[in-house]
Amino acid sequence: MSRGICPRVNSVGCFWILSLLTFVVKVIDVGAYSCHEVRTVFQLHQIGPLNRVPETPVTDADLLLCKHQGPSCCTRKMEESYQFAVKRQTLHNIQSQSYKLKHFISTHEVAFQDMFQYLLSFSQGHLSSLLEASYPSLSHQVLPHVNQLFSSLSHYLRGGNVSVEGEVHHFFNNIFPLVYARLINPGIEGRIMMGSEMGDCLRMIRQDVKPFGTQTDVMAQELAEALGAGRQLGLALEEGLEVVNVTEHARLSKECIKALVKMLYCSHCSGLTLIKPCSGYCLNVMRGCLACVSELDQPWRRYTSLLEQLTHAMAGHHSLELAMLRVREHVSEALLYAQLHGPLITATVDKVCGLSTGEPTHMHPTSPEIKTSTMTLSSPFPSTAPSQPSPKEWLGQLAHLRNSFPLKPSKNNKHSLRTLSRDFLMNLQGFKSFFAGLPEDLCHEENAVDESTCWSSDGVVESYTARVVGNGLHVQRHNPEVKVRSVECTIAEAKERLEDFNMDTEEMFPKLGEIEAWEELGSGEREEGSTTDCDDEDGCQASGGGEEKYTHDSSAGRPLGKHPEGHSPQENPSKPPSVKVIGGSPNASWTQCCSLALLFAGLCLQWILY
């Protein structure tokens, strides 16, 4: 009985076991050839409609780009979607890399312009304070011409078609009638009005008569040189932005798009969604796609070198800041020169314009209209009658008007032209080879690898063995991955424009390459624990809570000093910051101390003798 039942049970068990094994094999087989991961990536990257991806691999796919033996998870429709996707993705990656450069250029362009306007505003206030404090009878009518001068200089620094030397001479032409009527020959100002024939004659002959000496020419030349470098730097930054904008919209050829699909998505057709392209393979593809863009490398390197040289010419040794400071000094010395040579100027004007006052002219110069706040010490000796001061004494009285310009801010204030220029030069180093390094940057975005297993045009390989070509059009004929059929570049116009700008800059500033770097690039911060509070080049900063002190190099005629704390760029140059004029020169203070010491010594000697 048992023998008859066992064979029947064994037969039924064998049947179920066989069915179970068949089911398991089918499930494993379906799982091995599923396109689930491909569908997931296709959807996450928003490559196209999900219904274009098959559920399981197909064997009769009519593929053009991703051909391989065996079943495939790709179709012709998917290849079309991949082409649109790689174009969008690559252009997005290019724009991401360009954004860093554009942000660097645009932020520094704005920062430099703000700093220029601040320096102009400070210099304008500096000059206005001189006129209001020392020439009150003249300041009311001269200040509008001061505002016009600095407004023109501001327009010039922003790229306007303005002649700095012409504006400076125009300024002195306009104030000459006022100086002649108020300072040289007081009392005839009623005869010399703006728009009158006499006033027009004085303005016309100013450059021939030279009533202000050589200060007008020196001031015009100094401003033209210093402001010219700053203006060209601003124009150069604008030009750089235009070049980068063109690069962002570079056209990708059909051959490039096909190569990108093979590199980025053909591996998905075999179900390999995680494998990365070989680095050498990626470089060949990207350098072939960006062959035209790489042609910008040489002119761009020359362009960045010019940016460095323009920055050195503008900010090196405080060139622009000193030029702004010396506007006040030049005007002060020009007005003093006119007063010292008043009789000679009057005689010349009488011959040309017939503006004789009807009064006998004296050969000694007229006394300058100067207001000082120096103290007068009582002397033990009898006072003598006042005598006519000599020109050297007048110059001594004017010494207090040449206070140093605040060239450098305090340690806590980082907003200065020097620190801004240092920051600009340091960050510029990373963008010198931007166009040559763009393919490498894009391959980094795609996570290309040099590991033992990577994806190439031949499929999965241990290493990429094909030749890796360099940058530029001339070497792409050896590129094994991308065929660069045409030498016509969509950015050829941008390249030519950049080359022309470089050439024009070199012609405008022929000695630009001879300018040495003003310091080693660095953060500019002093090391902690340093006891040095000033340097030879930048001047000294006062310590403690007292009034800030400045040094002046009288031999060179170039003042050295520091910015007072709390200054920020002025948005409206027509409203300059108030500048306090401090009277009394250091020499006068030293003389006072010596006089007191001699007086005290004399009293002691008299007490001992008696």
pLDDT class for 194, splitting at 50, 70, 90?
low
Residue 244: how many other CB atoms lie within 10 Å: 25
> Does residue 353 contact residue 176 with C-beta atoms inside 8 Å?
no
Instruction: Quote the pLDDT of residue 306.
Output: 95
pLDDT reading at 422 higher than 50:
yes
Q: In the prediction, which pLDDT does 459 show? A: 87
Residue 296's pLDDT is 92
Give the CA angle between residues 332, 586, 601 to the nearest 5°.
140
CA distance 177 to 479: 75
388 vs 283, more confident: 283
pLDDT at 539: 38
pLDDT in tens, 469-482: 999 888 888 899 99
Confidence grade of residue 489 (pLDDT, cut at 50, 70, 90): low
Residue 60 neighbours by CB distance under 10 Å: 7
> Which pLDDT tens digit goes with each residue over 350-361?
888 875 544 433
Q: Is pLDDT larger for residue 14 or for residue 81?
A: 81
pLDDT for the residue 562: 35
Residue in 326, 145, 75 with CA at minimum distance from that of residue 225: 326
Q: In the chain, what percentage of residues exceed pLDDT 90?
A: 40
93-111 mean pLDDT: 94
Cα(138)–Cα(131) distance, integer angstroms = 7
Backbone angles phi, psi at 8, to 5 degrees: -70, -45
Q: Which residues contact 383 (CB under 8 A, 6 or more apart)?
A: none
Q: Is the pLDDT of residue 518 over 70?
A: no
Cβ contacts of 566 within 8 Å, gap of 6 or more: 413
Provide φ and ψ at 551, rounded to 5°.
-110, 155
The residue type of 185 is: N
DSSP state of 63: -
CB neighbour burial string for 487-513, b if at least 16 within 10 angstroms, e if fewer? eebebeebbebbeebbeebeeebeebe
Most confident by average pLDDT, 44-53, 193-202, 582-591: 44-53
The residue written with tokens 């206030």 in the block is: 125
The pLDDT > 70 percentage for the chain reads: 66
**Residue 218 reports pLDDT greater than 80:** yes
CB-CB neighbours of 31 under 10 Å: 9
For 283-292, b/e burial (b = at least 16 CB within 10 A) is bbbbbbbbbb
3-class DSSP assignment, residue 137: helix
User: Among positive and negative, which fits the CA dihedral 254, 260, 266, 271?
Assistant: negative
Asked whether the beta carbons of 436 and 304 are under 8 A apart, the reply is: no
* HEC per residue, 436-480: HHHHHHHHHHCCCECCCCEEECCEEECCCCCCCCCCCHHHHHHCC
Q: Which comes out higher in pLDDT, residue 231 or 43? A: 231
SS3 277: strand
Q: Which of 268-272, 415-419, 537-541 has the lowest mean pLDDT?
A: 537-541
pTM for the model: 0.70
Instruction: Please compute the mean of the pLDDT values over residues 120-124 and round it to a whole number.
Output: 95
pLDDT at residue 485 is higher than 80? no
- In the predicted structure, residue 317 carries a pLDDT above the cut 90: no
The stretch 383-391 carries a mean pLDDT of 38
- pLDDT for position 228: 94
* Residue 388: pLDDT band with limits 50, 70, 90: very low
Q: Does the structure show a pLDDT above 50 at 524?
A: no
Phi and psi of 590, rounded to 5°?
-65, -40
pLDDT > 70? residue 61: no
CA-closest candidate to residue 287, choices 66, 467, 452 = 467
Residue 584: predicted pLDDT: 38
Mean pLDDT of 521-548: 38
pLDDT at 492 over 70: yes
The average pLDDT across 450-456 equals 81
Two tokens, residue 512: 């630009």
Residues 6+ apart with CB under 8 A from 506: 306, 512, 513
Instruction: Give residue 128's pLDDT.
Output: 94
Neighbours of 476 (CB within 10 A): 22
What would the mean pLDDT of 380-402 be, rounded to a whole number? 39
What is the residue-wise DSSP string for 161-202? S--HHHHHHHHHHHHHHHHIIIIISTT-TTT--TTSHHHHHH
Are 306 and 512 in contact by the 8 Å Cβ rule? The answer is yes
Mean pLDDT of all residues in 243-247: 88
Say which range, 174-178, 180-184, 542-546, has the weakest mean pLDDT. Answer: 542-546
More confidently predicted of 231 and 444: 231
pLDDT surpassing 60 at residue 609: no
- For the stretch 251-307, pLDDT in tens is 888 999 999 999 999 999 888 888 899 999 999 999 999 998 998 999 999 999 999
* pLDDT value at residue 525: 40
Which whole number is the average pLDDT over 577-601?
47
Q: What count of Cα atoms within 13 Å lies in the side-chain half-sphere of residue 315?
A: 23
Q: Which residues contact 259 (CB under 8 A, 6 or more apart)?
A: 285, 288, 289, 481, 482
Q: What is the pLDDT of residue 49?
A: 86
Query: Residue 552 pairs with which residues in a beta bridge?
Result: 559
Pairing of strands 539-540, 534-535: antiparallel
Q: For residue 352, what are its two tokens?
A: 């040309």
595: confidence class by pLDDT, cuts 50, 70, 90: low
Mean of per-residue pLDDT scores for the chain:
74
Residue 60 confidence (pLDDT) above 90? no
In the chain, count of helices (H) and strands (E)? 17, 6
What is the pLDDT at residue 548?
37
3 state DSSP class of 278: strand
3-state secondary structure 529-588: CCCCCEECCCEECCCCCCCCCCEEECCCCEEECCCCCCCCCCCCCCCCCCCCCCCCCHHH
The DSSP code for 400 is G
Question: Tens digits of per-residue pLDDT, 63-83?
Answer: 888 887 778 898 889 999 999
